[in-house]
Amino acid sequence: MKPVPLPESSPSSASNSSHPDNVASNSAEIGVPRPLGPRPLRVTHAVLSLDAGGLERMVLDLIDQARVQGHRADALCLERPGLLADQARKRGARVISLDKRLGVRPWMIRQARRALKDLKPDLVHTHQIGVLAYVGPAAWSLGIPVLHTEHGKHYHRRGTRWLGRVAARFAGIFCAVSQDIAEAAVAHRVVPARNVQVVPNGIPRQVYETVDPGEVATLRRDLDLPPEARIVGTVGRLDPVKRQDRLILGFERLLDRVPSARLVIVGEGPSRPDLEHLIAARGLGSLVHLAGYQNHPERWYNLFDVFVLTSASEGHPLSVLEAWASGKAVVASRVGGLPELIEEGRTGLLYDADDLDGLARCLAELLDDPETADALGAAGRARVAREFDAAGMFTRYIRLYQKLISHLVCP
């Protein structure tokens, strides 16, 4: 079986029909469908790794939802298994790592092909364009359809744009987690607008809705937080794009207005040494806590009075949804898909990414006015329940899976 080729899918054909306003919101035009009755599906999620991050946790949620709804999902890791691989296995997934080294390795396509022959999926779901470049051709050679999800904007460099245009040819449906990301892919002629779907992330919200006062008290005690401390917190990979350095500098300015404030940063990553040096250099060692990677981040959201995200680029971050599901007000930089996600003054506050005074002002406003913070958090929680539940996300994907499989024709 071979996928039906996409009509006019070459990058050159995207110039007229690929305006961002034309990005599809319901279905991709991939030919004339053939009826397909509901049946259990076997899906392989292809990722760089299952390291701790929003993309990877979203894949775990998809694996979990597949199990709950009677399907099967496995994981193919291009570079390494990652910290979350064991959690994927506990959810019933097989995890195969190709152990690709850095650099261009064309022969990895053959290894991906062998892995897919072993996993025998009905469909491959790739995440990030670099993964699609290797796993897409492997799947195509076996007649396995590919659905791709893009989680960020990576096309500012010519080489990445070229890679995206070539790799996208192997995706029957090209998804993005936010309108902002979809429009970027279309604007850079990576994919025609008619083939792009926007499928927002979802989370298992019930996990975040339960508050255990005993756990919160334990965390405060473990961090040696004084009773009067007001907690600003964030959860995410310690990475330059997350700009936790600017968070620390903005927090320093916040102390002039809210001396009782404390900052808790949950996560691990390559920026940790630089952040530790910055904290020490600014004399903030007793006020800023690097909590490291946590298996159960939901426990930490309940510790926070306000959640903050200071990224230089974001799509549709899980951490904002998790903070909302925990009933927390959100302060975030006005970048990427965040203005699309956050209704300013209703579900959170936004500030210009380079405005440290603006960051401090937003944080102080909510710490000084708990009633407003609670109202923003409650509105965010209601929105997650309406729009961003993990089961709803999986339902949207399963419909696209079935749509894509129904467009296969037998030789």
Percentage of the chain beyond pLDDT 70 is 90
Tell me the mean pLDDT in the region 264-287: 96
Residues 122 and 252 in one domain: no
pLDDT tier, 410 (very low <50, low <70, confident <90, very high otherwise): very low
- Check residue 408 and give its pLDDT: 63
pLDDT tens profile 208-234: 988 788 899 999 999 999 999 999 999
Average pLDDT, the chain: 89
Average pLDDT over residues 78-90: 95
What letter represents residue 252's amino acid?
Answer: E
pLDDT attached to residue 38: 60
DSSP helix/strand/coil, 153: coil
Q: How confident is the model at residue 145 (pLDDT cuts 50, 70, 90)?
A: very high
- Domain shared by 219 and 188, yes or no: no
More confident of the two residues 13 and 325: 325
Taking each helix axis as running N to C, give the angle between helix 158-168 and helix 129-141, from 0 to 180 degrees, rounded to the nearest 10.
Answer: 30
Question: How high is the pLDDT of residue 385?
Answer: 95
Query: Are 245 and 367 contained in the same domain?
Result: yes
| pLDDT, position 27 | 35
Give me the mean pLDDT over the 105-130 stretch. Answer: 96
Closest CA to 150 of 119, 108, 183, 123: 183
197, containing H or E segment: strand 196-198
Quick check: 80 pLDDT over 50?
A: yes
Tokens of 393: 């996300």
Q: Are residues 250 and 294 in the same domain?
A: yes
Please indicate, yes or no, whether residues 61 and 144 belong to a single structural domain of this protein. Answer: yes
Q: Given this model, what pLDDT does residue 30 score?
A: 34
What gap in Å lies between CA 368 and CA 356, rounded to an integer? 18
Which among 301, 312, 317 is positioned nearest to 377, based on CA atoms?
Answer: 301
pLDDT band (50, 70, 90) for residue 182: very high
Say yes or no: 192 and 120 in one domain.
yes
Q: Is the pLDDT of residue 268 over 50?
A: yes
State the pLDDT at residue 53. Answer: 83
What pLDDT was estimated at residue 240?
A: 95
Q: What is the pLDDT of residue 211?
A: 78
The pLDDT value recorded for residue 157 is: 82
The residue segments making up the domain with residue 351 are 206-387
Same domain for 175 and 68, yes or no, is: yes
Task: Please give the tally of structural domains in the chain.
Answer: 2
pLDDT in tens, 326-377: 999 999 999 999 999 999 999 999 999 999 999 999 999 999 999 999 999 9
CA-wise closest residue to 172 among 143, 213, 131: 143
**What confidence tier does 3 reach under pLDDT thresholds 50, 70, 90?**
very low
Q: What angle do CA 201, 272, 341 make, to 5 degrees?
A: 25
Q: What is the DSSP track for 50-71? A: --SSHHHHHHHHHHHHHHHTT-
* Burial class of residue 111 (count of CB atoms within 10 Å of its CB; 0-12, 13-18, 19+): middle
As a whole-number percent, the residues of the chain with pLDDT over 90 amount to 79
Spatial CB neighbours of 309, under 8 Å, sequence gap ≥ 6: 234, 236, 242, 317, 319, 320, 330, 331, 332, 333, 338
Does residue 159 register a pLDDT over 90?
no
> Is it the case that residue 7 has pLDDT exceeding 80?
no
**Whether 179 and 34 share a structural domain:** yes
**Do 273 and 333 share a structural domain?**
yes
User: Has residue 317 got a pLDDT over 90?
Assistant: yes
Q: With contact defined as beta carbons under 8 Å apart, do 290 and 274 qualify?
A: no
Q: Kindly tell me if the per-residue pLDDT of 46 is higher than 70.
A: yes
Confidence grade of residue 26 (pLDDT, cut at 50, 70, 90): very low
- Supply 23's token pair: 């990005």
Q: Are 142 and 114 in contact (CB under 8 A)?
A: no
Is 22's pLDDT higher than 60?
no
* Domain CATH for 241: 3.40.50.2000
Is 345 in the same domain as 258? yes
Query: What are the residues facing 175 on neighbouring strands?
Result: 149, 197
**Could you tell me if 131 and 211 lie in one domain?**
no
118/231 same-domain check: no
**CA-wise closest residue to 127 among 51, 204, 47:** 47
